[in-house]
Amino acid sequence: MFYQFEAIIVKKLAIVAICLILVSAAGIGLLSAAQNNKPLLEGGALLYTINNNVTSYRFKVMYKDIDGDLPRYMFVYINGSRRAMVKADPLELNAKEGILYTLSLSSEELAEFMKGKSEWGVQYSFRTNDGHGVVSTEESSSMTLDYEQMGLTLEHSSGINSKCGK
């Protein structure tokens, strides 16, 4: 009789211990989800280069996540069409410092997105997910000359080279 009573107590204690473990695990999961920081998408741009009268385009955006979460995906939406972006450096894994993503297109490829639009009718935005939720940028239509790809530098914001006039 005593052993039956002891067995019942051990079973009840085991059930209580399992319940406590499950409740604490669920609480930790909720706590960690509540503490997640959304990633940042910085410097999103559409850059263009001109080489031998041929124009090419490059979308770029910097992904940063202070939690270190890597993105599940990185997309650029061009006039409503989604295209996957790739890491500029395939070996880069430091989301805290930032990972640069790009998508290069020729004039012909970009023109496919602009059918029925005016010449400069490109609208784009960037979208990602760090595993905890979706983050998107505002839509933009700006294009910028890709000074870096063209081997050019800007020495002053006024565009005047300090070596001129000497």
Q: How far apart are the first and last CA of the chain?
A: 107
pLDDT digits (tens, 9 = 90+) for 132-162: 999 999 999 999 988 777 777 766 545 444 4
pLDDT bucket at 164, cuts 50 / 70 / 90? very low
The amino acid sitting at 6 is E
- DSSP secondary structure, 53-64, as one string: TEEEEEEEEEEE
The amino acid sitting at 134 is V
How many whole angstroms separate alpha carbon 43 and alpha carbon 94? Answer: 17
Per-residue CA distances from 57 to 42, 50, 95, 97 (Å)? 18, 9, 25, 26
Fold of the CATH domain 40-150 = Immunoglobulin-like (2.60.40)
The whole-number pLDDT of residue 75 equals 98
Joined tokens for residue 50: 């001109």
Quick check: pTM over 0.75? Answer: no
The amino acid sitting at 32 is S
The full set of domain ranges for the chain reads 1-28, 40-150
pLDDT digits (tens, 9 = 90+) for 4-58: 666 666 676 667 667 667 666 665 655 555 689 999 999 999 999 988 888 999 9
